[in-house]
């Protein structure tokens, strides 16, 4: 390297030291003097180039030594300064206990709420499912191409074709919902238990093994001779069989059939939902393989290296070919491949994203609150800042001190926030249970969550402290000499920065309040909606006769399995119905195949009206209706008003003319402008279905709790049914939800009902026994908890906004203390002082409300789908929330205003 090059490097490094290290300039000056001598000697005497380069390298070495010394000094200085900043910051926090308490509480609430929600969401994304390599597990759903939002499960022909033709999968398996009445003589009572039918390949797909025992074999799932074997969940093993170590090989009665227990699954295994407590083989007979309903959950394991998009493309090609080969069953249907984690926990997306938006607003409000308090406190520290500048402190050094104080607040708040987060995790995991899905369990304060909270605290500390530090570090000694010290006047030409922070708090609180108000308004409307029937003093329970006891598969009809009813279950249901009517404590009793408001799926039938040709427009909505089988006196028991005609009675038997009762919506849609009584129709479900005559019209009873408009409904007698029926609605003949109107508390009548049913058949289990009002209320529990959580966050944000407004106005009065004394001394009365302070407060509140309304109008559209019978721009909610927040702001200003009115002019004039 040439001497000139060495010279340039030396000069660059020396310039860096000279510019950035003022304390080391003396040493740098001495090095520069010696090097200048070297350069002069080289130029004057003609020092050989090699010797000059050696001397230059020696000089560079001296610079390197100096730089190492500087770095060492910097490390020592930084540690010393950091220790000093921490000690001074703690001392400052102790000197302002009120501000410290408010700031720490605000940040603890905001950080804790965010930490809890982020921790749960992180666990849902990363917690290990009880399956090996679960990232390769997917669930395949079918979707109608004209309505892709209506996701459905798969049919058996879909599953078989995918398994045989699709590439990209190691294995595929299918499952189907199952329920059985377990009767065990050792326990002495029957119990309805929810389980699943599994293909043997599904266990291989999931990659699981039982804790004890074995899995199904393919031979045990043969359609011609399916084995009566069961695998129990660990929970069922412990609950019903007391963890019997000799459970393997034990025979238990399920649906009246002796089944052999061959295995018990590990405690963590729950699939495909939380309710599953046993698994039995799923046999697929040839008729079902040609056509079935879309009830089967198909789970697959991808081959290594195959993406979800590739697997979906492969299955889509198979689906397209099925649509060509079998258009009557597959045309118009596509599919979607989803990760198993999304399929199991996807139900959390909507409520959790809304909650995250709410807690993010809460944390932002808390940060703005604390930042505003720190900005306002900065006005009382101007003397301190000016003195620091006078003693030679650099601005970045002051900024670091102030940010350290805010970080201390944030980390103390974060430490307390961990307590809030632990409570929040428990609340979240119990607030949002989803029927038919996996519950959120095993979420705790693990290392990942603690790291998340620490990182969030650090970000919050910097965000809260940076603006006050930058603003506060601009003040210098000149501001003191111009009357800018604490307690002096302020520049009235422009509002203080912390006034804008207070307005921002009001705006953020308004957005959160409006959202919570809309959700609460929606919940109240849903809870108070007219259900058309009287649920008080009604006891309900489910009674079921398994389909295998009364059906025989004989073929297919319109692409669905076709069954013969060999022994009608109506006889057994009739015996239960008659026995219940003789219970002294029951005033009225009736039954319905699917309960209103509490059924996941209700049969929907195609209706053919007598004397009218089927619609050629292709719009089937006008010719379809939900279908229920009922006993006599259903509407009298429910106290549903009859609009016209009559209820079912004991004369509506199988030998009498077939009749039906329709709701008002069906009457208007099927026979507009006509009297529906006496009209006839038939259901296009089986060849030997008889025409039915309408004998009554009843008020609309909602099928689903959130149903907004009317839907056509047909009620038919459970005794007037064909002897042959197609799937998938065959099981409804043997199931009945009984409703008993009692003379006293329904809970006290439950033992009488159990005894009465046991007299008819002691091996039949009663499920969902309890007061109907309690069951309807339980349906609202998740939405109620969700509403309460949002209301708590909104209330906290409102409290923070009120505290911020109070703090701003209190500091404003303190800043203008001298001015107020002068005004009072010159004759200003209470009205003038109140107007002076009050107008400023009202201006601040108005600015916050205006900005908040604009933000809320833009944001509430995001929760449109979560609202019931209310628009996202509901004027009443916006007005009520605005008035509430305005009142909070005004109340927060009353104390500072009273302090301003009590200013003593003598004291104020001496203040400066």
- In tens, the pLDDT along 295-343 reads 899 999 999 999 999 999 999 999 998 888 888 788 889 999 999 988 8
Report the alpha-carbon angle 392-394-395, nearest 5.
135
Mean pLDDT of 94-117: 86
Instruction: Assign 319 to helix, strand or coil.
Output: helix
pLDDT of amino acid 632: 95
pLDDT of amino acid 65: 62
pLDDT over threshold 90, residue 638: yes
pLDDT of amino acid 477: 41
Instruction: Using DSSP bridges, classify how beta strands 735-742 and 604-609 pair: parallel, antiparallel or unpaired.
Output: unpaired
Mean pLDDT of 651-668: 94
Mean pLDDT of 4-15: 60
pLDDT over threshold 90, residue 5: no
For the chain, give the percent of residues with pLDDT over 90: 35
Residue 582 backbone phi and psi in degrees, to 5:
-95, 0
Mean pLDDT of 573-582: 94
Where does the pLDDT of residue 686 fall: very low under 50, low under 70, confident under 90, or very high at 90 and above?
low
- Cα–Cα distances (Å) from 286 to 119, 157, 290, in that order, read 48, 10, 7
pLDDT over threshold 80, residue 867: yes
Spatial distance between the Cα atoms of 878 and 870, rounded to a whole number of angstroms: 12
Alpha helices in 96-182 (DSSP H): 97-126, 156-165
Query: How high does pLDDT run on average in the chain?
Result: 82
pLDDT of amino acid 902: 79
Most confident of 235-249, 494-508, 546-560: 235-249
**How many CB atoms are closer than 10 A to CB 182?**
24
pLDDT over threshold 60, residue 554: yes
- The residue among 224 and 324 whose pLDDT is bigger is 324
Spatial distance between the Cα atoms of 802 and 885, rounded to a whole number of angstroms: 8
Mean pLDDT of 868-876: 92
pLDDT of amino acid 771: 95
Burial class from Cβ neighbours inside 10 Å (0-12, 13-18, 19+) for residue 531 reads: middle
Tell me the whole-structure pTM to 2 decimals.
0.78
- In tens, the pLDDT along 785-808 reads 889 888 988 988 888 888 888 877
- In tens, the pLDDT along 128-173 reads 688 888 899 999 999 998 888 788 899 888 999 999 888 889 999 9
Whether residue 694 contacts residue 680, with contact meaning beta carbons closer than 8 Å, is answered with yes
- Lowest pLDDT segment from 577-581, 657-661, 843-847: 843-847
For the chain, give the percent of residues with pLDDT over 70: 83
pLDDT of amino acid 422: 86
- DSSP at 860: G
Mean pLDDT of 491-511: 72
Where does the pLDDT of residue 495 fall: very low under 50, low under 70, confident under 90, or very high at 90 and above?
very low
pLDDT over threshold 50, residue 616: no
Enter the tokens of residue 209.
């093994």
Beta bridge partners of 645: 696
pLDDT over threshold 60, residue 846: yes
pLDDT of amino acid 356: 87
- In tens, the pLDDT along 42-77 reads 555 565 666 666 666 666 666 666 556 666 555 655
pLDDT of amino acid 390: 72
- Lowest pLDDT segment from 72-86, 762-776, 881-895: 72-86
Beta bridge partners of 189: 184
Mean pLDDT of 401-411: 89
pLDDT of amino acid 722: 85
According to the 3-state scheme, what is the secondary structure of 440-492? Answer: CCCCCCCHHHHHHHHHHHHHHHHHHHHHHHHHHCCCCHHHHHCCCCCCCCCCC
Mean pLDDT of 661-678: 94
Residue 104 backbone phi and psi in degrees, to 5:
-65, -45
């Amino acid at each position: 390297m040439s001497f000139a090059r060495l010279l340039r490097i030396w000069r660059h490094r020396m310039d860096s030291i000279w510019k950035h290290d003022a304390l080391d300039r003396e040493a740098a000056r001495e090095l520069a003097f010696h090097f200048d001598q070297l350069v002069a000697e080289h130029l004057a005497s003609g020092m050989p180039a090699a010797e000059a380069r050696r001397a230059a390298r020696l000089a560079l070495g001296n610079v390197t030594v100096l730089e190492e010394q500087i770095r060492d000094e910097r490390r020592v200085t930084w540690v010393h300064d950091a220790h000093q900043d921490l000690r001074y910051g703690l001392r400052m926090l102790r000197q302002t206990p009120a501000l410290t308490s408010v700031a720490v509480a605000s940040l603890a609430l905001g950080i804790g709420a965010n930490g809890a929600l982020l921790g749960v969401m992180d666990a849902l994304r990363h917690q290990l499912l009880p399956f090996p390599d679960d990232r390769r597990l997917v669930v395949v759903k079918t979707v109608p191409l004209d309505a892709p939002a209506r996701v459905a499960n798969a049919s058996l022909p879909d599953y078989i074709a995918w398994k045989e033709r699709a590439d990209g999968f190691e294995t595929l398996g299918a499952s189907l919902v199952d329920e059985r009445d377990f009767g065990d003589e050792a326990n002495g009572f029957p119990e309805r238990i929810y389980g699943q039918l599994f293909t043997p390949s599904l266990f291989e797909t999931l990659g699981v093994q039982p804790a004890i025992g074995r899995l199904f074999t393919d031979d045990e799932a043969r359609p011609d001779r399916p084995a009566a074997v069961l695998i129990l969940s660990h929970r069922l093993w412990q609950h019903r069989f007391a963890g019997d170590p000799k459970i393997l090989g034990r025979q238990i009665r399920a649906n009246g059939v002796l089944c052999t227990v061959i295995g018990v699954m590990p405690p963590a295994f729950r699939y495909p939902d939380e309710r599953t407590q046993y698994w039995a083989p799923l046999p697929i007979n040839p008729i079902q393989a040609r056509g079935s309903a879309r009830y089967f959950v198909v789970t697959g394991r991808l081959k290594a290296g195959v993406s979800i998009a590739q697997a979906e493309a492969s299955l889509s090609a198979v689906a397209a070919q099925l649509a060509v080969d079998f258009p009557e069953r597959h045309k118009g249907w596509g599919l979607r491949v989803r990760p198993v984690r999304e399929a199991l926990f996807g139900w959390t997306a909507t409520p959790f994203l809304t909650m995250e938006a709410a807690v993010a607003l809460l944390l932002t409000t808390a940060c703005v609150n604390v930042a505003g308090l720190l900005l306002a406190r900065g006005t009382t520290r101007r003397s301190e800042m000016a003195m620091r500048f006078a003693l030679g402190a650099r601005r970045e050094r002051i900024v670091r001190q102030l940010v350290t104080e805010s970080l201390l607040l944030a980390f103390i708040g974060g430490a307390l926030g961990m307590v809030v987060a632990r409570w929040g995790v428990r609340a979240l995991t119990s607030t949002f249970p989803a029927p038919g899905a996996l519950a959120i369990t095993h979420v705790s304060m693990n290392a990942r969550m603690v790291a998340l909270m620490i990182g969030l605290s650090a970000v919050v500390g910097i965000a809260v402290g940076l603006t006050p530090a930058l603003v506060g570090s601009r003040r210098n000694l000149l501001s003191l000499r111009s009357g800018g010290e604490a307690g002096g006047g302020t520049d009235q030409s422009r509002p203080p920065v912390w006034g804008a922070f207070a307005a921002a708090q009001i705006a953020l609180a308004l957005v959160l309040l409006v959202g919570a108000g809309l959700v609460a308004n929606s919940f109240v409307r849903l809870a108070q909606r007219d259900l058309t029937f009287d649920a008080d003093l009604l006891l309900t329970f489910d009674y079921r006769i398994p389909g295998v006891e009364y059906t025989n598969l004989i073929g297919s009809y319109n692409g669905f399995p076709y069954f013969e009813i060999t022994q009608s279950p109506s006889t057994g249901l009739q015996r239960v119905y008659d026995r219940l009517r003789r219970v002294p404590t029951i005033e009225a009793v009736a039954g319905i195949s699917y309960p209103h408001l509490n059924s996941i799926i209700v049969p929907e039938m195609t209706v053919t009206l007598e004397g009218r040709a089927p619609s050629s427009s292709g719009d089937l909505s006008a010719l379809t209706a939900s279908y229920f089988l009922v006993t006599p006196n259903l509407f009298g028991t429910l106290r549903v008003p009859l609009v016209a005609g009559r209820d079912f009675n004991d004369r509506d038997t199988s030998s009498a003319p077939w009749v039906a009762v329709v709701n008002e919506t069906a009457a208007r849609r099927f026979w507009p402008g006509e009297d529906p009584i006496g009209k006839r129709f038939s259901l296009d479900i089986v060849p030997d279905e008889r025409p039915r005559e309408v004998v009554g019209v009843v008020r609309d009873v909602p099928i689903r709790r959130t149903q907004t408009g009317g839907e056509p409904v047909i009620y038919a007698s459970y005794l007037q049914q064909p002897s042959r029926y197609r799937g998938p609605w065959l099981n409804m003949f043997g199931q009945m939800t009984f409703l008993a109107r009692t003379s006293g508390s329904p809970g006290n009548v439950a033992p009488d009902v159990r005894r009465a049913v046991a007299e008819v058949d002691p091996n039949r289990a009663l499920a969902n026994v309890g007061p109907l009002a309690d069951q309807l209320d339980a349906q609202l529990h998740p939405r109620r908890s969700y509403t309460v959580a949002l209301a708590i966050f909104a209330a906290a944000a409102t409290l923070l906004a009120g505290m911020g407004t109070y703090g701003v106005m209190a500091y404003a009065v303190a800043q203008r203390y001298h001015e107020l004394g002068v005004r009072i001394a010159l004759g200003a009365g209470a009205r003038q002082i109140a107007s002076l302070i009050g107008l400023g407060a009202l201006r601040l509140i108005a600015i916050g409300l205006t900005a908040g309304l604009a933000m809320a109008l833009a944001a509430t559209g995001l929760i449109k789908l979560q609202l019931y019978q209310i628009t996202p721009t509901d004027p009443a909610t916006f007005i009520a929330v605005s008035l509430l927040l305005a009142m909070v702001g005004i109340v927060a200003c009353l104390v500072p205003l009273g302090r301003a009115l009590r200013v003593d002019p003598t004291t104020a004039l001496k203040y400066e």
